[in-house]
Structures are given as C-alpha cells and as structure tokens.
Amino acid sequence: MGTEKDKKTVSVVMIVKNEEALLSRCLESVRDADEIIVCDTGSTDGTLEVARKYTNKIFTDFTWNDSFCDARNHAKSKATGDWILSIDADEYCHNFLEIKKAIELAKDNISVYMHSHGSLTNFFKVPRLFRNDPDIIWCGAVHNHLGVTPEGEKRGMNMSGEGEIVGDVHITYDYSQTHEKDPDRSLRILLKEVEDPTKVREMYYLGREYLSKGKYELAIMWFGKHVVSTNFTAEKADSFLSMARCYSTLGMDDDARDACLQAIKLNPYFKEAVLFMAAIVQDNHAAPWRHMAEVADSRDVLFKRI
C-alpha cells in the first residue's frame, strides 16, 4: 500500500467560453481535484468570475482558431498533475473519489462512462481520464479523440479504443445554450476537415451534423462516404443505422431496410438497429425482429441509446 506521498495527483482541465450558466455545477463536481485548469477562449459573460470561485489557474492566452484539439492541447500544457481529467462546462462528474481510485490502477488512459443528462441508460465510453504525458495529445479539430505523437508511438503507446476498463468513473453531459450562439460551428469545421480525404472519422460526424439539421440527402451522402472508408466496425454500423433513419424519413423504405440490415450484419447485438428494423418492416414481419431484440444486448456499439 502506497503512502499519501505516493498518491497520484489529478488535474482537471477545461476549455470554456460563455459558460456562466452551467460552469459552477461542473466545477463543484470536481472541486476535490488537486488542480483545476480553466482555459477561456473569449468569454464575454460572467464565466471568469464563476471560475475564480474554484481556481486561480485561469488562462486567457489562447486565440480561438476553430480547432478544439489545439485549444485542449494548449490547456493540457498548463497541467502539473500526474493525471488529467478532461471535462466540459456542460458536464459534471458523479463521484470524484472514483477518479482517485481509478488512477491508482491504470497505466495510460481510463474508460469513462459518458451519460446523457436525465438518463443513465444512454451512454458511451471514452478515455477522458489519462496520464499527463507530453506524448498523449488531442487530435481532431472537432469531436476530439486522444492520440499519441510519433515519439509516443515509438514508445509503444496506443490511445485507440475506449481506454482501460478500470474503476467506475461516470460523467453526465448536458446541452449548453452557448451552442446556439454559433449553431453552425461544428458544420463549418467539419466541412473544412473533410477536404482531406483521409479524415474518415470526420465524414461520420459530418453526416450526423446534416442529420441533426434535417438535411437528409446530404447526411446520406456523407454516411455513404464514411462506410466505404472506415475500418471501425462500431462507427460503421452506426453510420448504416443513421442512413436507415434518413431513408425512412424520406419515405425510401426499401433503402432504409437495406441500410439497417447492413448495421445488423456488422453487429447482430446492435439492439437499437434491430428495434428500428422491427419498426420499418411490414407489420406481419416485425415479430421476429422484436424477438431478436430481446437477446441483443448492445455490446460493441458506439453509443448506447436505448
């Protein structure tokens, strides 16, 4: 058993802008951290005043450039703890003690359960808790993910996947009204990113942006580009299901069923896809799909939304 001196420390690292309404809830949930880093990218409301109630490590030296990974890496560079928890202002941690427990057991990065506000059954897992290492970096201008530098790759580091299944760390994410001040920000960034044909993950998220905006034909086009380019099975299955939803909304039922079937072929345990198939087939064909859904446990899905 290690001594208190041996205990690893945690830096909470955030980037914020005009988050006065939700920031205190987030910071209250992580107030037991050894250090809280707040990097503000240009707030004009009371965000900084709220942040000062919890930390004196507030930085305003980053100029926003439509790159979340640049901003997150800049904020990360300020952290001095052994481990970093990355959290957004519209999120909150369930039990910070679980973070302290988990970092004593992990090697590089820890899988965190991310729950939709108001639902503990809708979640996905992502490595938001990771060792403070200069070779661990944020990648992707939007919808960021952790990666490693070339030097880290030489050291055998790997940040792919959900992270190490260690501990029991949970974060709930909400919706910040700040997004409404620049509703096309993600779309703008993604359109620039997909100019590079190697940005396959960004094709998926661009499809999701168009789906959320009701631009179904454009969503189908980008999901279609994604499924022929990716090797990430969970993301590919989700693309096919999203295509099915678009086709169904457009009244293209045969195409909807074909796309949904592709999702199920990739993962027969994809409960959401199986239930959607039951909803879009003829009534007298629905029963077998509903029966299949009873044993589909949503393993290996990208997002658990049941």
Condensed to tens digits (0 to 9), the pLDDT of residues 219-260 reads 999 999 999 999 999 999 999 999 999 999 999 999 999 999
Residue ranges per domain, the chain?
4-178, 183-295
pLDDT tens, position by position, 26-54: 999 999 999 999 999 999 999 999 999 99
Integer CA distances (angstroms), 291 to 1, 204, 276, 278, 294, in order: 50, 30, 13, 9, 5
Percent of the chain predicted with pLDDT > 90: 87
Which of 49-58, 60-69, 115-124 is predicted with the least confidence, judged by mean pLDDT? 115-124
**CATH code for residues 4-178:** 3.90.550.10
Residue bearing tokens 């809830």: 25
Mean pLDDT of 168-187: 90
DSSP code of residue 80: -
Q: What is the pLDDT, as a whole number, of residue 2?
A: 47
Q: What is the pTM of this model?
A: 0.89
* Nearest Cα to Cα of residue 205 among 223, 182, 192: 223
Q: What is the pLDDT, as a whole number, of residue 306?
A: 64
Q: What is the pLDDT, as a whole number, of residue 1?
A: 39
Mean pLDDT score across all residues of the chain: 94
| pLDDT at residue 21 greater than cutoff 50 | yes
pLDDT tens, position by position, 184-217: 999 999 999 999 999 999 999 999 999 999 999 9
Distance CA 150, CA 135 (A): 8
For 48, other C-beta atoms within 10 Å of its C-beta total 15
Coil/strand/helix, residue 138: strand
Q: What is the pLDDT, as a whole number, of residue 295?
A: 96
Mean pLDDT of 173-179: 85
Q: Which fold has domain 183-295?
A: 1.25.40
